[in-house]
Chain A
Amino acid sequence: MDKLIISPSPHVHGGLSTNRLMGDVLVALLPAFAVSVWVFGVSALLVTAVAVASCVLFEAAIQKWALKRTDTLLPAVLTGVLLAFNLPSNIPLWLVAVGSFVAIAIAKMSFGGLGRNVFNPALVGRVFLLVAYPVQMTSFPEVVDSTTGATPLAMAKGALRSGQSVSDIMPNLDYLQMSLGQMSGSLGEVAAIALLLGGVYMLIRRTITWHIPVAVLGSMAVMTGVMHASHPETYMDPMFHLLSGGAILGAVYMATDYVTSPMTAWGKIIFGVGIGVVTVVIRVWGAYPEGMSFAILLMNACVPLIDKAFRPRRFGKNHHRK
């Protein structure tokens, strides 16, 4: 018999791994990906491929030569897919690579790599492109039935600004079509049902907890619901807000990013409510039609504070003596 191995307890491991968690998210994104390929055609495939390839490339290169670390590359694949999901399908491919560079090199690796970034890399990439190349980022291809190339959010906002009332806009919207992907928008934000399906998968696999998605969507629904109920002609109804833009993509896939979200259940709820409220504020009163990315990035910055403020409930705090 050979020398015995000694190590501190525990001597067994649950088998969970970073790769499994990231793989689960990727699997959960598959239905939405399928819908976007069906809606946008081969260009969706191309944009995603370029985003993933360039993200992995930048990640591997920086890990090898700058950080001298050997972290798994699957998170970079996920960043690539999420970035692609946030881009219009007709974006020039070189811009996709630029976005990937910003996402990986600036938003992630400059903070020290996996697990150390403050902001969601894919969203930093997207917001950079949105600010630097607004034209390319907001001209969406015409989808089969859509009346215009504008997203429902941009369309509604434009209409409301120009003095039209909600009832003027409503005939142009079909919620069923929107939830099936028949609307204009980024690759991954068009198929609400497919995105929710993936979310349910992740909940079953315990990849994510319910707190953040429910808090984000719930707070958005409540806030827009109250506004719509008090001024039905000025504010769009909650269903519109939940189905349009990146609400579901953001709530289920972007805000739940482990690295940039709080640890505890209450922290997650506060984080989610923050995102929901800021998103609605930007959508309704801000200059941009969509505020999800900004809201998530804003709340990302608050995560360290939230983690400090919302500690888990300690055992022994609720004892009742006879």
Chain B
Amino acid sequence: MVTLGYTVLILCVLGVVAALLLYFVAQKFKVVEDPRIDAVEKMLPGANCGGCGRTGCRAMAEALVKNADISSLYCPVAGSEGMAQIAEYLGKSAPVREPRVAVVRCAGSCDKRPRTSTFDGATSCAIVGSLFAGETGCSYGCLGFGDCSVACEFGAIHLNPVTRLPEVDEDKCTACGACVKACPRMIIELRRKGIKNRRVYVSCVNKEKGAVARKSCKASCIGCSKCAKVCPFEAISIDCNLAYINAEKCRLCRKCVAECPTGAIVEVNMPPRKVADPATAPATPTPQKADSSAKSNKE
């Protein structure tokens, strides 16, 4: 009985001593932190995708709280709405950016771009791209091993098994830019989402001369500059045999789309054309999703 008493007593004393010790240590080493950081972190999406250019959402929250001017800080996942909420909470002016979306600039599907060799090895675009031009004759186009899809935290980009090209799910894409960084060919671009998600862009990055590009892929930009001539807004520039449409200047008139001889210029989510043009008629049903490659196949 006495032993039991001693045991209980010693344990109690030990408990009290330890508790006191912990209390004082906690007091001594307390880190004073702005409680708003926690709050802002909660408001952020918590995807830790790095789309803001920071290591994670916590770092972003700290930056948002500490910087007086947050116009340069923007979380693409939260979007303008989310950023507005955060800015309101912090009493700062909200950074506004136009929503953007990842766009795959290659239309070289299997039928347009014949395979010239078969790759057998580690299935990673980075590895294939560092050693070979890829399985097709085009040394600029999509390698088709899905590094972008692996990099995406949001499941917004997937390889289409038929075309072997990645397709972006617009609803899921947050424009964090992970796929842009993962693509060794720099095919993926973040473009403005556009009004009603309508976009026109050149779906090719091949800088070879027209004949060479055409030989390797039927859907390549051959740098003929017909589109640049027809564009009423001077939105199209040609550099190294490759056309590029400046999204800021483009008014979605679609003249270039009709003009392009290879179909390298792609329109997405556009309404049907008013004048039925026999040449482009089959392309008019507007796809609901940004399914550029599949669409260009049908053409």
Q: Do chains A and B touch in the complex (CB under 8 A)?
A: yes
In the bound complex, residues from chain A placing their C-beta under 8 Å from that of B115 are: 3
Contact yes or no, B127 A4, CB < 8 A: no
A6 close to chain B: CB less than 8 A: yes
In the bound complex, residues from chain B placing their C-beta under 8 Å from that of A4 are: 117-118
- CA distance in complex: A8, B117 (Å): 13
In the bound complex, residues from chain B placing their C-beta under 8 Å from that of A162 are: none
Contact yes or no, A6 B122, CB < 8 A: no
- CA distance in complex: A285, B39 (Å): 58
Chain B 100-117: CB-based contact to A (< 8 A → 1; otherwise 0) = 000000000000000111
Contact yes or no, B120 A5, CB < 8 A: yes
Contact yes or no, A7 B116, CB < 8 A: no
- CA distance in complex: A74, B116 (Å): 39
Least distance between B138 CB and chain A CB atoms (Å): 15
B132 close to chain A: CB less than 8 A: yes
In the bound complex, residues from chain A placing their C-beta under 8 Å from that of B127 are: 8
Chain A 169-187: CB-based contact to B (< 8 A → 1; otherwise 0) = 0000000000000000000
- CA distance in complex: A8, B145 (Å): 15
Least distance between A111 CB and chain B CB atoms (Å): 24
- CA distance in complex: A3, B117 (Å): 5
Q: Give the interface residue-count category, chain B.
A: 10 to 19
Residue of A nearest to B114 (CB): A3
Least distance between B116 CB and chain A CB atoms (Å): 6
B5 close to chain A: CB less than 8 A: no
Chain B 111-135: CB-based contact to A (< 8 A → 1; otherwise 0) = 0000111111110000100011001
Least distance between B270 CB and chain A CB atoms (Å): 37
Least distance between A135 CB and chain B CB atoms (Å): 34
- CA distance in complex: A7, B117 (Å): 10
Chain A 60-104: CB-based contact to B (< 8 A → 1; otherwise 0) = 000000000000000000000000000000000000000000000
In the bound complex, residues from chain B placing their C-beta under 8 Å from that of A6 are: 117-121, 131-132, 135
Count: A-B pairs, CB below 8 Å: 25
The interface on chain A, measured as residues whose beta carbon lies within 8 A of the other chain's beta carbons, has a size of: 6
- CA distance in complex: A204, B117 (Å): 42
In the bound complex, residues from chain A placing their C-beta under 8 Å from that of B119 are: 5-7
B174-220 at interface with A (beta carbon < 8 Å): none
Chain A 1-40: CB-based contact to B (< 8 A → 1; otherwise 0) = 0011111100000000000000000000000000000000
Least distance between A4 CB and chain B CB atoms (Å): 5
Least distance between B27 CB and chain A CB atoms (Å): 35
Least distance between A5 CB and chain B CB atoms (Å): 5
Q: Select which of A3, A5, A8 is within 8 A of B131 by beta carbon.
A: A8
Least distance between B159 CB and chain A CB atoms (Å): 20
- CA distance in complex: A152, B69 (Å): 81
In the bound complex, residues from chain A placing their C-beta under 8 Å from that of B122 are: 8
- Supposing A8-B127, A8-B131 touch, asked if A3 and B120 sit within 8 A by C-beta, the answer is no
Contact yes or no, B116 A3, CB < 8 A: yes
Least distance between B113 CB and chain A CB atoms (Å): 13
- CA distance in complex: A303, B201 (Å): 55
Least distance between A43 CB and chain B CB atoms (Å): 50
- CA distance in complex: A8, B121 (Å): 7
- CA distance in complex: A5, B135 (Å): 9
- CA distance in complex: A7, B120 (Å): 5
In the bound complex, residues from chain A placing their C-beta under 8 Å from that of B116 are: 3
Residue of B nearest to A2 (CB): B118
Residue of A nearest to B119 (CB): A6
- CA distance in complex: A6, B137 (Å): 13
- CA distance in complex: A8, B120 (Å): 8
Binding site for B on A (CB under 8 A): 3-8
Binding site for A on B (CB under 8 A): 115-122, 127, 131-132, 135
Seed contacts A3-B118, A5-B117, A8-B121; 11 additional CB < 8 Å A-B pairs: A3-B115, A3-B116, A4-B117, A5-B119, A6-B118, A6-B120, A6-B121, A6-B132, A7-B120, A8-B122, A8-B131
Q: Offer 25 A-B interface pairs, CB within 8 angstroms, sorted by A.
A: A3-B115, A3-B116, A3-B117, A3-B118, A4-B117, A4-B118, A5-B117, A5-B118, A5-B119, A5-B120, A6-B117, A6-B118, A6-B119, A6-B120, A6-B121, A6-B131, A6-B132, A6-B135, A7-B119, A7-B120, A7-B121, A8-B121, A8-B122, A8-B127, A8-B131
What 4 pairs across the A-B complex have the smallest Cβ distances?
A7-B121, A7-B120, A4-B117, A8-B121
